[in-house]
């Protein structure tokens, strides 16, 4: 970059070359590479609003909504009439469930281009989303639990050909259910209700932080996000065996949303939880929440495949999921990550009131949303929620709690896993070719006692029926994605 009187001048030509490369990377779904290239282009020409808006879109694809909002705001600052800046920021706000903020941006778009039919359509859809959210907030004040439903009064028609539960859930039933799901069929709502009610009772009696014991010569498997990718879940079981007391698993949150076979995933996991309470463990992820489910597809999928009552039941069950697990007193497992301040003890986590929708800040929010970063200390999260924590934060947390390792999920990794923070933190992600476009592998971790050293298995995506991801997602969000 040239300079005049000590002030840097933009290198427009080189910046545009990098922008073109970034656009190509974006089209190839290499979103992290696109962010890197847009950043280099911005360094050469920091007053180009298009570069910030484009980078905002790439951040959105990476679910880094805080960074997307920051970039879109910068684009608007450079050019207050730049429509795409408002579009990008509005989409990021919507992805975070902040409909009111999104509405302000889409109203601004309509002011700038009042005769644009697409702008009018998106504004109308956003207004509908805000009004729906207001209505749901109002009726929430009259909320009553749906977990009192008596499934035994529901008749199973003679024409029903699927698997049946005679008295209690059996392995034979679960295997037949998975086969039905594999063939794109479903189970009778009576049995679906029975699974949900039994899971609710089991989880409600489970501590917020679960202590798991792996006996000598035993083993334990941890899986990360599966995000509704049922056929990849079946592949995990094919590679590593079905869950059982002798072959225990922990699925570390984000079972649903994004993928369009979330119903199949969650009923399979819940049925195994009912069958083997200490053969399958579950941690809550940031997508086991009402706000995320309404945006990213699970709510729509449940209502399409079952009904609204079933959707309400899932909301209640998700609020009973534990937030953390400790294996043999040494391995700390959470979905997201660590905390915005030092000194958090395991006893603090045990005392969290988890029976609610996740708050926007505090220990529960950070457990579900935080991410590691490669440096030291803490920096703002790219997601706009939680915190990004460095290796020193991880080391202090482990030392203060006499732990050896943090295992977490929450982020796509090219190889399905990543070891960072001097080997003291592992990220595992079990949804290969995430959303049918990221090209990543999936992975799971097996720990063999007594040394509990991690052994990684990676795997590629398997074919699935031609139902696109986000098939059941919020219509407005799908329109912007």
Q: Which domains does the chain have, with CATH numbers?
A: 3-140 (1.25.40.10), 151-480 (3.60.21.10)
Give the separation between CA 68 and CA 75, rounded to whole angstroms: 11
4 pLDDT tier (thresholds 50, 70, 90): very low
Mean pLDDT of the chain: 93
125 pLDDT tier (thresholds 50, 70, 90): confident
**Helix, strand or coil, per DSSP, at residue 426:** strand
- Report percent pLDDT > 70 for the chain: 94
Which pLDDT value is given to residue 100? 87
How large is the average pLDDT for residues 283-295?
Answer: 95
How large is the average pLDDT for residues 395-415?
Answer: 98
134 pLDDT tier (thresholds 50, 70, 90): confident
How large is the average pLDDT for residues 245-254?
Answer: 98
Catalytic annotation on 410?
no
Q: Please determine, for residue 344, whether its predicted confidence score (pLDDT) is greater than 80.
A: yes
How large is the average pLDDT for residues 292-307?
Answer: 95
Which pLDDT value is given to residue 138? 65
Please give the biggest Cα pair distance in the chain. 87
Q: Please determine, for residue 141, whether its predicted confidence score (pLDDT) is greater than 80.
A: no
Query: What tens digit of pLDDT does each residue of 459-474 get?
Result: 999 999 999 999 998 7
129 pLDDT tier (thresholds 50, 70, 90): confident
121 pLDDT tier (thresholds 50, 70, 90): confident
Which pLDDT value is given to residue 97? 83
454 pLDDT tier (thresholds 50, 70, 90): very high
Would you list the DSSP string of 444-471? EEEEETTTTEEEEEEE------S--TTT
**Helix, strand or coil, per DSSP, at residue 366:** helix
Handedness of CA 61, 63, 64, 68 (dihedral sign): positive
Nearest of 356, 421, 423 to residue 392 by alpha carbon: 421
DSSP label of 301:
H
How large is the average pLDDT for residues 361-368?
Answer: 98
Query: What tens digit of pLDDT does each residue of 56-73 get?
Result: 999 999 999 999 999 999
Query: What tens digit of pLDDT does each residue of 220-232 get?
Result: 999 999 999 999 9
Which pLDDT value is given to residue 480? 52
For the chain, how many helices (H) and strands (E)? 18, 16
- Whose tokens are 């505090």? That residue is 362
Q: Exposed (0-12), middle (13-18) or buried (19+): which is 83, by Cβ within 10 Å?
A: middle
Query: Tokens standing for 71?
Result: 């970039």
Residues 151, 194: contact at Cβ < 8 Å? Answer: yes
Query: Tokens standing for 393?
Result: 């934060």
6 pLDDT tier (thresholds 50, 70, 90): very low
Nearest of 231, 225, 341, 235 to residue 287 by alpha carbon: 225
Q: Which residue among 200, 287, 421, 464 is the active-site one?
A: 287
How large is the average pLDDT for residues 430-456?
Answer: 97
How large is the average pLDDT for residues 331-342?
Answer: 98
Which pLDDT value is given to residue 476? 59
Query: What tens digit of pLDDT does each residue of 41-58 get?
Result: 999 999 999 999 999 999
């Amino acid at each position: 970059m040239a300079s005049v009187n000590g002030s840097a001048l933009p290198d427009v030509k080189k910046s545009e070359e990098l922008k073109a490369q970034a656009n190509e990377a974006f089209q190839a779904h290499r979103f992290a590479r696109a962010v890197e290239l847009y950043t280099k282009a911005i360094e050469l020409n920091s007053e180009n609003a298009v570069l910030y808006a484009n980078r905002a879109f790439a951040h959105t694809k990476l679910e880094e909504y805080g960074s997307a909002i920051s970039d879109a705001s910068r684009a608007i600052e450079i050019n207050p009439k730049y429509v795409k800046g408002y579009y990008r920021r509005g989409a990021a706000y919507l992805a975070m469930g902040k409909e009111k903020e999104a509405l302000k941006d889409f109203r601004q778009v309509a002011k700038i281009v009042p005769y644009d039919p697409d702008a009018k359509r998106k504004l109308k859809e956003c207004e509908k989303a805000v009004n729906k959210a207001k209505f749901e907030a109002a009726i929430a004040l009259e909320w009553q639990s749906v977990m009192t439903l008596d499934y035994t009064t529901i008749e199973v028609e003679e024409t029903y050909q699927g698997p049946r539960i005679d008295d209690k859930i059996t392995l034979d039933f679960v295997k037949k259910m998975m086969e039905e799901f594999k063939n794109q069929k479903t189970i009778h709502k009576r049995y679906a209700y029975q699974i949900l009610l039994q899971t609710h009772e089991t989880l409600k009696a489970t501590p917020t932080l679960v202590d798991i014991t792996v006996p000598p010569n035993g083993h334990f498997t941890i899986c990360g996000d599966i995000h509704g990718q049922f056929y990849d879940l079946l592949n995990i079981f094919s590679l590593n065996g079905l869950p059982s007391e002798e072959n225990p698993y922990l699925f570390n949150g984000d079972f649903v949303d994004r993928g369009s076979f979330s119903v199949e995933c969650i009923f399979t996991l819940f049925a195994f939880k009912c069958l083997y309470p200490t053969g399958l463990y579950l941690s809550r992820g940031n997508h086991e929440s009402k706000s995320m489910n309404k945006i990213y597809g699970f709510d729509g999928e449940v209502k399409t495949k079952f009904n609204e009552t079933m959707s309400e039941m899932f909301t209640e069950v998700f609020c009973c999921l534990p937030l953390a697990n400790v294996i043999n007193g040494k391995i700390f497992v959470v979905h997201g990550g660590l905390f915005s301040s030092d000194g958090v003890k395991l006893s603090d986590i045990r005392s969290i009131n988890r029976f609610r929708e996740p708050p926007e800040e505090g220990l529960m929010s950070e457990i579900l949303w935080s991410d590691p970063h490669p440096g030291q200390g803490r920096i703002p999260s790219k997601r706009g929620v939680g915190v990004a924590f460095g290796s020193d934060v991880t080391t202090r947390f482990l030392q203060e709690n006499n732990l050896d390792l943090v295992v977490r999920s929450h982020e796509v990794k090219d190889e399905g896993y990543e070891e960072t923070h001097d080997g003291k933190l592992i990220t595992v992600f079990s949804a290969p070719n995430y959303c049918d476009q990221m090209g990543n592998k999936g992975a799971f971790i097996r720990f063999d006692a007594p040394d509990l050293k991690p052994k990684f298995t990676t795997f590629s995506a398997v074919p699935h029926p031609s139902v696109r991801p986000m098939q059941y997602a919020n219509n407005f969000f799908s329109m912007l994605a």
